[in-house]
Structure 1
Amino acid sequence: MHSTTTMAASTKDKKLSKAFKERLDALHCPYTEDVDESWIAELIFKPGEPRIRLLQWLLSTFDSKLDEELDPQYASMESKMDSRIQRLLFVTSTLGLCRYDDVDLIRGVTSASKQAAFMDHLIDIVLITASAEDPHSKALLSPGIVSDASPLDEQFNQSCLYMDSLARQENLDLVYNPRLDLLPPDIQRQVEKSWSDKGHDKNKPPKLELAAIADSAIELAKSLERQRELLQELKNNFDYQEADESRTEKVCKTLSLVLSELSQLVTGFSYCYENEMSHWCNKMPPTLTQLGPAFKRVHNLLQQFVQLLQSLKSIRNCYTNLSREASQQIPNLISKDDRLSVLASAGEAALESFQECLGVLDDSMQRRDADISSSSTLHSSFLKM
């Protein structure tokens, strides 16, 4: 029983989504073009930026003057600061589609039945307005037989409507285009670029040289023949599986859906930027001072000082370890008698060294006295002269 109820609800949702998609496609809605029906349900019943954009588009289609009221691109800075939800609520409540305080309905957080009724009424009035402004739809809404007995103005109007319906079936601009483009667009751009490089205008192309064209055609034929040989060689050496049409169609539909969702995300980001971020980006940049470089120099000096302290600490630890190991090993290597003899020899060596130093000092003092006496004698002799 529960599974039957679930299946019935799912079938009802699919029918509802399909009905909404058909009516939105009739309005040429850009948000439902080439998308899956499941996306329509998410677009209408799920709160978020895509649903707000759909409401803005429907109301702008109903009345173009509402575009300036709802679209932040045409609004002033003060109105940009206001919430779009409040503006949508004001317009829809003025049209009688909801209450003046029904914010949850605009946000899309109410029940699905209430949202479906709201969207159904909104799309209805937009369809009625669009049909009333379309002359082709007017003619279809009032069919009749036009004969020679009809008034002349009625025959003229019906003929104009018939020609208008024919003109809508095909793009007649190509029929009346006086310029004929024989080349594909990419090759045409390359040719025009080569003309501009040679100093010619694309509106006044240079005269064609038949000999050069013939040589180019011959080279092109050789190149095509070579490429055909390479292609045939690849076909002979490798076996390629034929493309699965069902799989290709599935991949194309998935890619189309992903691209449509990506387009919705880009649109949402652009309007989020316009409403929430753009007024912050227009502020004046702060005035910077030279305090930052000074802090950077102090930081670098502190880092160098810390590295120096760490190096000194490492040297101290190494010296302490070496001293500890030496103090532990020396007593084990030298006995008590040996230590006394070592101390005696060291004392004798120090005494001899001290005596040598005293001798050197005595010689220096005697040499100094001799130099002083000789200089005084020389000075007195100069005075006598």
Structure 2
Amino acid sequence: MAGGLTEKQFAHRVYDSLQALSCPLVQDLYLQEDESMLELLCRPSVLRTDILTWICRRINPKFGASKVMSAESKDPDGLEKKMAAIGQDLMLCKADDLDLIKGNASPQRQLQFLEQLCDVIPGFRKSAGHRTGVEMLLSEVFAAENLPHLREMLQPALDPWPAHIEVLHEVSEWAQKPREEFPDVSDLLQSTQTELEQLQLKCDFLNSDEQNPSAFSPSSLRLAAADLQQQMMTFSHLYETDLRVYCSRDAPSFSTETDIFQRVHQKLLACNTELEMHKEITEVSGSVNEETKHLQTQPRYWSGVEKHTLPDQLEEITQRIENVVSQLNT
């Protein structure tokens, strides 16, 4: 036996190779017993001949052409001779070895011949675990010990819920917390207004500089910096040209507590703070605008078993109120 396998194990391996090759003649058989596989592959039958013909066509696509079929109609053994010729070309058998082709040889020799033919099929890679996951799952499900469980699944004792009951159950679960997922727009606007007021309270400099409208003016900042630069350049030039000869002491050093630096620093800080506030306000306004747009266009509120947009929901509520009022008046 090949690799110490028994005839049944060898037949199982060849059968798995045919499944890995997606042979349509064995894919729908779902054989589980090794003995059934051995009988399929080694006993003469029309199905065995068809499987061998399919393998030869995979090896040589020209096998089974019209000329070959016309020759077979004249010679009863024409098809078997063509298969034997392919086997001879592959050095797997002799041209007159028709017993091997018809299935009259020993099982060991037939299985070895079939396995060698499968190995030369283009694109086939033999491996110990070449069976796909789907095939292994089907083999497990249709195993003899699992058939009682399969029948129980196909015919359950408790019938499942009807489709409309399942839909109502899912709707009831989603309808329990619509406000938690989609807060009311008025609550969202109110919380945004509160956050803006708290942010304004934290910016004390806004209230202190109300009387100075140019506190955040970029032109005022540029003017202060240019004024400082001009004064320093004028003094430096005057000192070098006129005052140095009359001074017997070292050149004066500028104090770090000069008021102009403090003013420049304050204006820079105020300008940066204002830019950050404008950025945050723009982002918050964009978020509020986007959320309001979604409330107007996207269905978020349940009515019955369907979701509706906010305008549709308000229109429906208004219509209900008008109907109730009209009934009370009548």
Same-fold status (TM-score > 0.5): no
Shorter-chain TM band:
0.3 to 0.5
Instruction: Give 1 or 2: higher helix fraction.
Output: 1
| TM-score, length-scaled by structure 1 | 0.29
TM-score, with length taken from structure 2? 0.34
